[in-house]
Amino acid sequence: MIALITGATAGFGKATAELFAKNGWDIIICGRRKERLASMAAELSKKYNVKISELSFDVTQLDEVKNAIASITGSWKNIDLLVNNAGLAVGLSPIQTGEIDDWERMINTNIKGLLYMTRLVAPIMIENKKGHIVNIGSVAGKEVYPNGNIYCATKHAVDALNRAMRIDLVQHGIKVTSIAPGLAETEFALVRFKGDADRAKTVYNGIDPLKGEDIAEAIYWAATRPAHVNILDIVLTPAAQGNSTTVIRK
Ligand code: NDP
Ligand code: 8X3
């Protein structure tokens, strides 16, 4: 079995690559940080005796995505699972003062990057007559929270696209699943707050947040149901999170 995972250099993607490798899957790991991809490939292939292929590209650059997917040849084209995971939040500001550059980055990565990947990988799956696409949404795609405006909008778009692509692809036997996590401790908050580690830590103060491994398990479970079962949407939060704005901190 072969999984292609975007955003595999950190957080959910990294944990997912590890869990699938542990279960004997070969994996195409993607991300911009080449050194991380190289060390992960060496580590996972040795530890789990599976094949790991590295593709370093930026999901927001259509030419890079096209070249990366075109470079997948031979048995690697037999992709069983695409995990559309690469994504980010940048900034947390009211709509009237938000940085427009931050908005562009979120829209380009979370929506356009996911679309480019899907547009280029789905035809391969259709040709193979099999496949499964897992889109990483968020609780921010189910509700909105103060200052979350553009990030929430991008994840609402992922939620809509998840449902839309399912009805387009069902006739080809391709499953489509959304995984929508709440607060999870990864590099996400550090990216959102542009490297401010102290501010990033406050996001998880006094709670036991989700970990990358929790999301990896949800993805793995959805990807390994019997052929006749499709999981549409998994929403998971830390036990301390009631919704985006109700978080019980000790
Ligand atoms: P991390 O910051 O830990 O990981 C993000 C990954 O996305 C990295 O591997 C990064 O790789 C990759 N990425 C970002 N931008 C690009 C790009 N332009 N091109 C290619 N790869 C890119 O965050 P998480 O693991 O937490 O986030 C993964 C997904 O989960 C995102 O879609 C996020 O919105 C979503 N999410 C996160 C939650 C959380 O609380 N952590 C909760 C709900 C959803 P590199 O920098 O090497 O390119
Ligand atoms: C990430 C979770 O609550 O920070 O998607 O938006 S949240």
Ligand 1, atom 46, residue with closest C-alpha: 32
For residue 68, the model assigns a pLDDT of 98
For residue 87, the model assigns a pLDDT of 98
Domain boundaries, the chain: 2-247
Ligand 2, atom 5, residue with closest C-alpha: 138
State whether the beta carbon of 200 lies less than 6 angstroms from ligand 1. no
- Any idea which residue has 């940048």 for tokens? 90
For residue 2, the model assigns a pLDDT of 98
State whether the beta carbon of 140 lies less than 6 angstroms from ligand 2. yes
State whether the beta carbon of 139 lies less than 6 angstroms from ligand 2. yes
Tens of pLDDT, residue by residue over 86-99, are: 999 999 999 999 99
Distance 107 CA to ligand 2 centre (A): 15
State whether the beta carbon of 27 lies less than 6 angstroms from ligand 2. no
SS3 label, residue 131: strand
Q: Quick one: fold of 2-247? A: Rossmann fold (3.40.50)
Provide CB contacts within 8 A for 243, sequence distance 6+: 139, 143
Task: Of 88, 108, 82, 87, give the one whose Cα is nearest residue 29.
Answer: 82
pTM across the whole model: 0.98
For residue 81, the model assigns a pLDDT of 99
State whether the beta carbon of 11 lies less than 6 angstroms from ligand 1. yes
For residue 187, the model assigns a pLDDT of 98
Give the mutation target among 4, 19, 32 for probing the ligand 1 site: most ligand atoms within 8 A of CB: 32
For residue 104, the model assigns a pLDDT of 98
Task: Of 181, 184, 175, 71, give the one whose Cα is nearest residue 120.
Answer: 71
- Any idea which residue has 């998840």 for tokens? 162
For residue 198, the model assigns a pLDDT of 97
Which regions in the chain score pLDDT beneath 50? none
Distance 139 CA to ligand 2 centre (A): 6
Cα Rg of the chain, angstroms: 17
Of ligand 1's listed atoms, the one at least distance from the Cα of 158 is 32
Provide CB contacts within 8 A for 78, sequence distance 6+: 2, 128
Measured between alpha carbons, how far is 12 from 108 in angstroms, rounded to an integer?
A: 20
Of ligand 2's listed atoms, the one at least distance from the Cα of 244 is 3
Measured between alpha carbons, how far is 4 from 123 in angstroms, rounded to an integer?
A: 14
State whether the beta carbon of 209 lies less than 6 angstroms from ligand 1. no
Task: Of 44, 61, 62, give the one whose Cα is nearest residue 53.
Answer: 44
- Read off the amino acid at residue 165: M
Measured between alpha carbons, how far is 59 from 31 in angstroms, rounded to an integer?
A: 8
| Distance set, CA 43 to CA 16, 18, 55 (Å) | 14, 10, 16
Is 151 designated active site? yes
Distance 87 CA to ligand 1 centre (A): 4
Of ligand 2's listed atoms, the one at least distance from the Cα of 183 is 2
Distance 227 CA to ligand 2 centre (A): 31
Half-sphere exposure of 84 (CA within 13 A, CB side): 35
Distance 213 CA to ligand 1 centre (A): 14
